[in-house]
A and B are shown apart, each in its own frame.
Chain A
């Protein structure tokens, strides 16, 4: 009776996992910054997830589980090992934003989509990934915590740092562009 069970779980897995395909690929592509690597990463994610699907606990967050597999696969890849070396947790002390010379609304008005994309790509991976999970995937802090396997407090501090980093990069582009004119 093993085989039919396996068929059923494969069917269920496909139903759950394939709707996440586009998002997972986008996320993988952002992490790896390379098409071929992203494809391999997504393929690897699905293979691992299918293999480990029996260990997935029904009722827990499937999306977070998939992203966690993808991210762990990325971290153990050569590119991942290189990019994540520089993670250092600053704790939660910097939750109050620093004064900025350009108000965010003005900054955003002047930054086009390409600029934001460039800034995102320049961000260190821990900041890039948490911004993507929060803004693009619209995950809750709880889901992000599950995906990255970090406490919610760390989610908040890392998110804060990521936003600050993004603003700084954008400001550099906007103000640098302005200087260049």
Chain B
């Protein structure tokens, strides 16, 4: 290859853009050809001169700061946002964790109470003698409990309602004696449990903290409330409407 052809490649050579093999051959040529060597040296010097001359301008620090600031979301604002958001978020988190925990425990203990009462209800109905006092007359049933349970209660007049009193028995719930009454409506039995509310508290039993209201659990409908220091539970497989109607009657009983 002649010098003319090599010269066409000198730029690429000094720019480091020739492939390795070609660069090696050219380097070999430059070592032996003073004209090409001088040419290559001149190009390298020119490159260097442009490099030095080209690094000429320096930006103001103001510009750098301005641009840098425009790129970063302001740290102070970010922290501020974080704190503003974090405080309520933390409170919410704590509340939700506590509530979940509480609700979880609440739910579990409520479930326990309901299943236990449902068991009592079902066990009584399954027994050969569901009730110990067989009477449709509240004036017979109520006195029967005297001396058997440490409290007394009022039973409603059922005249004009769909409900019939079948009878009653003494029951125990969480080591507490109570009255278990069985009513009937359209061939369905409904259990009414009456306990001393205080007894629940004394025993630290879950039922003490049970909120009043209607529940649907294990396919039974259940209503519970506290009245005159007594806790009432109405459990049955009838509709919530019947449960509530009977509850109303019991609540209004004088």
**B38 contacts chain A at the CB level, 8 A cutoff:** yes
Chain A residues near B76: list those with CB within 8 A: none
Question: Which positions 21-42 of chain A face chain B at CB distance < 8 Å?
Answer: 21-22, 25-26, 29-30, 38-39, 42
Question: Which positions 50-86 of chain B face chain A at CB distance < 8 Å?
Answer: 50-60, 63-64, 66-68, 70-73, 78
> Do the beta carbons of B68 and A14 come within 8 Å of each other?
yes
> Do the beta carbons of B57 and A26 come within 8 Å of each other?
yes
Which of B38, B58, B63 touches A42 (beta carbons < 8 Å)?
A: B63
> Do the beta carbons of B7 and A96 come within 8 Å of each other?
yes
A136 CA to B51 CA in the complex, in Å?
A: 5
Closest Cβ–Cβ distance, residue B232 to chain A (whole Å) = 51
Which of B7, B16, B54, B67 touches A30 (beta carbons < 8 Å)?
A: B54
Main secondary structure of the interface of A (DSSP, over half): helix
- Given A42-B63, A43-B63, decide whether A26 and B54 contact each other with a Cβ distance below 8 A: yes
**A132 contacts chain B at the CB level, 8 A cutoff:** yes
**B49 contacts chain A at the CB level, 8 A cutoff:** yes
Query: Can you identify 5 A-B contacts, CB atoms within 8 angstroms?
Result: A25-B57, A47-B70, A50-B70, A108-B46, A141-B15
The contact size tier of chain B is 35 or more
Apart from A18-B67, A120-B50: 5 A-B pairs, beta carbons within 8 A: A13-B71, A26-B57, A29-B56, A116-B49, A117-B53
**A113 contacts chain B at the CB level, 8 A cutoff:** yes
Residues of A at the B interface (CB closer than 8 Å) are 7, 10-11, 13-14, 17-18, 21-22, 25-26, 29-30, 38-39, 42-43, 46-47, 50, 95-97, 103-105, 107-109, 111, 113-114, 116-117, 120, 131-132, 134-136, 138, 140-141, 156, 159-160, 163, 166-167
> Do the beta carbons of B56 and A30 come within 8 Å of each other?
yes
Closest A residue by C-beta to B72: A14
> Do the beta carbons of B68 and A18 come within 8 Å of each other?
yes
Which of B38, B63, B78 touches A25 (beta carbons < 8 Å)?
A: B63
Closest Cβ–Cβ distance, residue B52 to chain A (whole Å) = 6
A43 CA to B91 CA in the complex, in Å?
A: 42
Closest Cβ–Cβ distance, residue A150 to chain B (whole Å) = 15
Chain B residues near A132: list those with CB within 8 A: 50, 54
> Do the beta carbons of A103 and B38 come within 8 Å of each other?
yes
Which of A21, A107, A114, A120 touches B67 (beta carbons < 8 Å)?
A: A21
**B42 contacts chain A at the CB level, 8 A cutoff:** yes
Chain B residues near A46: list those with CB within 8 A: 67, 70-71
Chain A residues near B11: list those with CB within 8 A: 156, 159-160, 163
A156 CA to B13 CA in the complex, in Å?
A: 12
Closest B residue by C-beta to A11: B72
Question: Which positions 139-172 of chain B face chain A at CB distance < 8 Å?
Answer: none
> Do the beta carbons of A108 and B8 come within 8 Å of each other?
no
> Do the beta carbons of B51 and A135 come within 8 Å of each other?
yes
Closest Cβ–Cβ distance, residue B188 to chain A (whole Å) = 54
Closest Cβ–Cβ distance, residue B33 to chain A (whole Å) = 14
> Do the beta carbons of A10 and B72 come within 8 Å of each other?
yes
